[in-house]
Amino acid sequence: MVEKCIVFDLVLSEYPFPIAIAHQIVSFCFTSPFITAGSKKNIAHWLHHPNFSLRIHDVTEPIMIEVDQIYHLACPASPPHYQYNPVKTIKTSTMGTINMLGLAKRVKARMLLTSTSEIYGDPEVHPQPETYWGNVNTIGPRSCYDEGKRVAETMMYSYRNQNNVEVRVARIFNTFGPRMHPNDGRVVSNFIIQALQDKDITIYGDGTQTRSFQYVSDLVDGLHKLMNGDYDGPVNLGNPDEYTVKDFASYIKDMTKSDSEIKLLPKSTDDPSQRKPDIRLAKEKIDWAPKVTVRDGLKEAIRYFQSVLDESGEIIPTGPGAAKPKKIKIQEEA
C-alpha cells in the first residue's frame, strides 16, 4: 500500500481509487472565480475521512510535503477556461510541473502527469498512436494549453533521464461524467444541459469534426494502473468509440428526448478536425481498456446534469470564446 499520495484535482479525486490505494491522500486544488472547474462539493463526503485531507494550494508555488506518489492533474482543461487566463494556464503546466518534479525528486516520489490528446494538435495521423509527434500551432488560442502540456511532458522525461525521477505520463482523450461543472464548456456538458432545457444545441463548425469520449471511471482505472505499473513511456487513455460532433449532438438529443434544434455556429480557431486514440499500447503495457460504453456513461451524466438543473434552475452553458465572469452588482440601499 502507498503510504501517502497527493492528487491535484477536485473532480477526479472524487472517484474512489485514492482512498483504496493510499494510506493518506492529500488533495490539492487552486481556487479562482473561473479557472477552477473542480468543486469542493465533489469531495464533501470525503472531507471527514481520516485518510483524506484537502489543501488549497497553487502548484505554481513550491510546496514541501512527504509523499510517495504524486498525481499531477492541476490545469484547467476546458478551452474557455484555459483561454480565460492563458498566462496562468501556461504557468500551471510549466512552473507547476517543475515544482511537482522538484518535490518528486526531493522525496523520491513517483509522479504521474495528466497530459492530453491535445499534444497531437490537429492530427494528420488517425487514430493517434503515442509515436505520433503532433501538429500543433505554437501561437494559436489553444497553444497555452497544448504547448504547456507538451513542455510538461519534456520536463518529465528530462527529470527522469537526468535525476532518475520515476515518471508516468497519461495522454488523456475527452473524458466526461457526473460532477463535471455545468459551465465546463466542453461538448458533453454543453449538449446535455442544452438538450435537457430544450435550448438550441450549439455546434461550433459544421459538425463533421470527430471526437471520442471516455467515461471518468475508466480514466481513473487507467491512471491507477499506469501509476502502479512498470511502463514509463507516454500512454493514451481514451475510448476509441468515435463520433462526429453532429451525430453526437443528435445522439444526446435522442437520449434526453429533447425538442432542441441543432444549430451550427462559426468554427472555433484551431479546432482539431479528428480525434481518436490508438489504445493498443495501454492494452499491452498496463492491461487497460475502457469498460463503460458511451451510452451507459451518458445515462449517468444526463442523470447528474438533470439533478443540477433541478437544484439550480436555468443554466446557460459556457461558449467556446473566453468569457470573463460578470461583475457582481452590489445592491445599493434605498
C-alpha angle 322/315/216, rounded to 5°?
A: 75
- The answer to the question of residue 301 lying near ligand NAD (CB under 6 A) is no
Question: To the nearest 10°, the Cα dihedral for 37, 15, 282, 150?
Answer: 20
How far is Cα 308 from Cα 291, in angstroms, rounded to an integer? Answer: 26
- Select the residue whose beta carbon is closest to ligand NAD and give its number: 38
By CB under 6 A, tell whether 12 contacts ligand NAD.
yes
What span, in angstroms and rounded, lies between the C-alpha atoms of 186 and 222? 22
The window from 168-176, 196-204, 220-228, 270-278 that contacts ligand NAD (CB under 6 A) reads 168-176
State yes or no: residue 58 binds ligand NAD (CB under 6 A): yes
Min separation Cβ 237 and ligand NAD, Å: 9
174 scored as a contact of ligand NAD (CB under 6 A): yes
Among the listed residues 8, 17, 191, 243, the single contact to ligand NAD using CB under 6 A: 8
Question: Measured from the CB of residue 209, what is the shortest distance to ligand NAD in angstroms?
Answer: 16
Bridge partners for 17 per DSSP = none
Give whichever of 258 and 277 is closer to ligand NAD, judged by the CB atom.
Answer: 277
* Contact between residue 202 and residue 194 where contact means Cβ atoms under 8 Å apart: yes
One residue of 5, 6, 7, 10 binding ligand NAD per CB under 6 A: 10
**215: annotated active-site residue:** no
The one among 143, 175, 197, 260 contacting ligand NAD by CB under 6 A: 175
**d(Cα 317, Cα 315) in Å, to the nearest integer?**
6
Q: Looking at 6, 29, 103, 167, which residue binds ligand NAD (CB under 6 A)?
A: 29
Among candidate residues 211, 240, 238, 241, the one with its CA nearest the CA of residue 223: 238
Q: What gap in Å lies between CA 262 and CA 301, rounded to an integer?
A: 20
Could you tell me how far CA 265 lies from the centroid of its own chain?
A: 25
Pattern 70-109, binding to ligand NAD, x per CB under 6 A? ---xxxxxx--x----------x---x-------------
CA dihedral 118, 122, 128, 132 (to 10 degrees): -90
Does residue 308 interact with ligand NAD by CB under 6 A?
no
> Whole-angstrom Cα distance, residue 218 to residue 62?
31
Of positions 24, 69, 116, 212, contacts ligand NAD by CB under 6 A: 116
- Which sequence positions are flagged as catalytic? 145
Name the site residues for ligand NAD (rule: CB under 6 A).
8-12, 28-30, 35-38, 58-60, 73-78, 81, 92, 96, 114, 116, 172, 174-175
